[in-house]
Copies of this chain bind each other. A is one copy, B any other.
Amino acid sequence: MYRNFKIVPNIIFGRGSFNQLGDVLRSKRPTPDSTMVFVLDDVFVGKELEQRLPLEKGDLLLPVNVDDEPKTSYIDQLVAQIRATSPRLPDGIIGLGGGSAMDIAKAVSLMLTNPGSAADYQGWDLIKNPAVYHVAVPTLAGTGAEISRTTVLTGPEKKLGINSDYTLFDQILLDPELLAGVPKDQWFYTGMDCYIHDVESLEGTYLNEFSRAYGEKSLDLCRQVYLEDHADKDDKLMMASYFGGMSIAYSQVGACHALSYGLSFVLGTHHGIGCCIAFDQLEEIYPQGVREFRAMMARHEIHLPRNLTRDLDDQALETMATVALGLAPLWENCFGANWREVMTRERALDLFRRM
């Protein structure tokens, strides 16, 4: 049985295409009192991007803070805030920012039409009702959040996505000009999320030719961006991110993503940098990938934080291992059906101790 893979059905790609956002949304405003909610990473508040938003009368600008990765409680709070502004549902949610802002937009659009708390839906295919129409406008590239069928949330018990076909955006707008001005460290860590996706997908046991074609091209683009010089590197990174996300369709991420989830859950480490910290310890599993990753770090003078787990007690380390080892499909993709024999709890704990 193969998955009937659902894809974001509408894409605009191009420099300056952000100027078309208003036109795209217009066709989704069926009545004069239709409203949209712009979920905007609050680093852009007071900046040019905020001024350029095509807000119309009744629209809500909803700045979101992503200093911490999105929590289910934060989603519940934002949904309540939107409900409090109007008795009727908005006609669209537009997420502008990096992976966290896009994930918040996805989760909010789902929770406006599904009862209860976002925490109730962490898992696979638990969502029952279609989401409000939602659009992604990434300002960072690499996470693949613009194309994935998940929104990764930290809940009271676990860090786990709301995975469903309804999670998928209805529209993405990829304007490489929006990547200008991102701080170098963030640009690097977010791009490495994509690079690591690709390595994990291509080295995984789940791989087929669909995922291989996307993964190989994404890897090629990452190499062009991080090991070469190209004037259109932002265009390339946006495509690398999109292809990296598509590669996961019939594949999975692997050991690094699983470990990074444990790190994030206990320490709140952001996903991109968490992946880098974990990947740097995985030379045994991905030797070529880790060597190339280190060459990319050296080229861009990136210095990873060290000894994050030195002061953690045993219980915290055990929690990390529990979160990481709970992600069975990732480990199975990495090592096959017998993964539990290969990645024992002791080995996972040892890897965390080195981070």
Chain A residues within CB distance 8 Å of chain B = 1-14, 17, 20, 24, 171, 174, 176, 208-210, 213-214, 216-217, 220-221, 232, 235-236, 238-239, 243, 249-250
Contacts and interface: CB of A to CB of B under 8 A. Distances in A.
A7 B5 contact: no
B14 A10 contact: no
Given A2-B13, A213-B243, 10 more contacts: A1-B20, A2-B12, A2-B20, A4-B11, A4-B24, A5-B10, A7-B9, A7-B10, A11-B210, A13-B209
Contacts of A216: 217, 220
A11 B24 CA distance: 25
A5 B13 contact: yes
A217 B213 contact: yes
28 contacts: A1-B20, A2-B12, A3-B12, A4-B12, A4-B24, A5-B10, A5-B11, A5-B12, A6-B9, A6-B10, A7-B8, A7-B10, A13-B208, A13-B209, A13-B210, A13-B250, A14-B210, A14-B250, A176-B209, A208-B235, A209-B235, A209-B239, A210-B239, A213-B221, A213-B243, A214-B217, A216-B217, A216-B220
A2 B3 CA distance: 31
A208 B17 CA distance: 13
A242 to B, nearest CB: 8
